[in-house]
């Protein structure tokens, strides 16, 4: 299989919908006949929650490895630069989310094919979840280290007091 070029205008073949699609007797008007772009709908469920009816983002979008890696790298940088990673997606300032979405669309114009930029939202949500998990692990490790140091110091003081 020959991978498509990164800047290809071709989109992955997925569930498409046009804002002007109308059904008449079960026959939809194709976007080719109306001139409107086809939009890729968000799959049902939550990204990375396969056991709970969710979906795998990489499988759902069908991008090349290069496209996926570059977009994910960009989102990672944008999230860590513009958002408070201790807060969930729903508590982030709307202006910051909009800024990330607009910048991603400017840098990756092929994202315009995704209804309401759901792909960007899902990547931002996932990055925030991963970052929060990293911060929690780091915090717990730091607390454990401090607790061990305190216990060691306490036992040394008790041993010194017992020697007196």
**HEC letters along the chain:** CCCCCCCCCCCCCCCEEECCCCEECCEECCHHHHCCCEEECCCCCCECCHHHCCECHHHHHCCCHHHHHHHHHHHHHHHHHHCCCCCCHHHCCHHHHHHHHHHHHHHCHHHHHEHHHHHHHHHHHHHHHHHHHHHHHHHHHHHHHHHHHHHHHHHHHHHHHHHC
The pLDDT tens digits for 57-109 are 888 788 889 998 999 999 999 999 999 999 999 999 999 999 999 999 999 99
The pLDDT tens digits for 67-77 are 989 999 999 99
This model's pTM is above 0.85: no
């Amino acid at each position: 299989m020959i991978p498509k070029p990164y800047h290809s205008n071709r989109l992955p073949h997925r569930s498409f919908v046009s804002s002007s699609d109308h059904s008449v007797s079960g026959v939809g008007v194709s976007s080719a006949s109306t001139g409107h772009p086809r939009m890729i709908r968000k799959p049902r469920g939550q990204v990375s929650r396969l056991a709970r009816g969710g979906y795998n983002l990489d499988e759902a979008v069908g991008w090349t490895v290069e496209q996926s890696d570059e977009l994910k790298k960009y989102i990672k940088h944008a999230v860590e630069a513009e958002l408070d990673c201790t807060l969930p997606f729903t508590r982030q300032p709307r202006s910051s989310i909009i800024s990330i979405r607009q910048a991603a669309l400017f840098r990756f114009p092929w994202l315009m094919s995704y209804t309401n930029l759901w792909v960007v939202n899902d990547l931002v949500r996932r990055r925030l979840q991963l970052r929060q998990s990293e911060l929690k692990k780091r915090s717990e490790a730091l607390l454990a280290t401090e607790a061990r140091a305190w216990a060691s110091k306490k036992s040394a003081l008790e041993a010194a007091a017992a020697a007196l």
